[in-house]
Amino acid sequence: MLSASFNNYSRAWHTKPLHAMDNKKAYRPKWDHYFMTMAMMIAQRSTCDRLLAGSVLVRDKRVIGTGYNGSPSGLDHCDDVGHLMHEGHCIRTLHSEENTVIQAAKLGIITEGSTLYTTYSPCYHCLKKMIAAGVKRIVVGQIYRDTRIFETCMKAGVQLEIHQPDTKWLDHLTELYQTAPREKLGDIKPGDAHVEDRTSSQTF
Ligand SMILES: [Zn+2]
Ligand SMILES: [Zn+2]
């Protein structure tokens, strides 16, 4: 039997009329919008509120690394203990771009010829690391501080682009998050193969 919490969860997702969910393919994002949306989501995991930044490293249209501004695993986070300032910068965290490449390295994935999607343009230090890792294209949500990166990218043969958001896609995302999941959870019967029996006091 489904628990009360599961039913409440189902109802919560149905505050919009069901007809709003009928059009299953209202919009299919282009690759740049698809990956940049991921970077925006990933930024929300940042632990240094001086800048919430997110990045996705992509090769052959496949995600090979993700990263946000955050301390290495096991170390203190700015959100918990405050910033660690040095010459006007917080140095407690690794930047989102660094974390994407480090994640790929940790998992043994080749970064040569990859594309970086990142919410803010890289700082000079991160840009050097991206060039050294073989990143060939960088798509940024917006330019942040250091404009020397334009010249540096040109010299290194890295394509640098400022992402142009697609308002239709953003509108679709807003609608998606108000109605998701599209599945009619209220119609799921206990015993359906993909339904867990949530009889514990688990909350969502
Ligand atoms: Zn910080
Ligand atoms: Zn950086």
Ligand showing the shortest atom-to-Cα distance for residue 51: 1
Q: Which residue has the higher pLDDT, 135 or 183?
A: 135
Least-confidence region, from 3-17, 76-90, 91-105, 132-146:
3-17
Rounded-to-5 percentages of helix, strand, coil across the chain: 35, 15, 45
Cα separation, 175 vs 21, whole angstroms: 9
- The per-residue pLDDT for 22 is 52
Ligand showing the shortest atom-to-Cα distance for residue 53: 2
State in Å: Cα 96 to ligand 1 middle: 13
- The per-residue pLDDT for 87 is 94
Q: What is the mean pLDDT of residues 49-60?
A: 97
Cα separation, 114 vs 61, whole angstroms: 9
pLDDT at 119 over 90: yes
pLDDT in tens, 123-136: 999 999 999 999 99
Active-site residue 87, yes or no? no
pTM: 0.77
Ligand showing the shortest atom-to-Cα distance for residue 46: 1
Q: What is the DSSP string of 98-130?
A: HHHHHHHHHTT---TT-EEEEEEPPPHHHHHHH
State in Å: Cα 87 to ligand 2 middle: 15
Q: What is the pLDDT confidence band of residue 175, given thresholds at 50, 70 and 90? A: confident
- The per-residue pLDDT for 147 is 86
Closest alpha carbon to 60 in 126, 107, 112: 112
Decide if 103 contacts 111 (C-beta within 8 A). Answer: no
pLDDT at 149 over 50: yes
Query: What is the separation, in whole angstroms, between the first and last Cα of the chain?
Result: 17
State in Å: Cα 46 to ligand 1 middle: 10
The whole-chain average pLDDT of the chain stands at 83
State in Å: Cα 127 to ligand 1 middle: 20
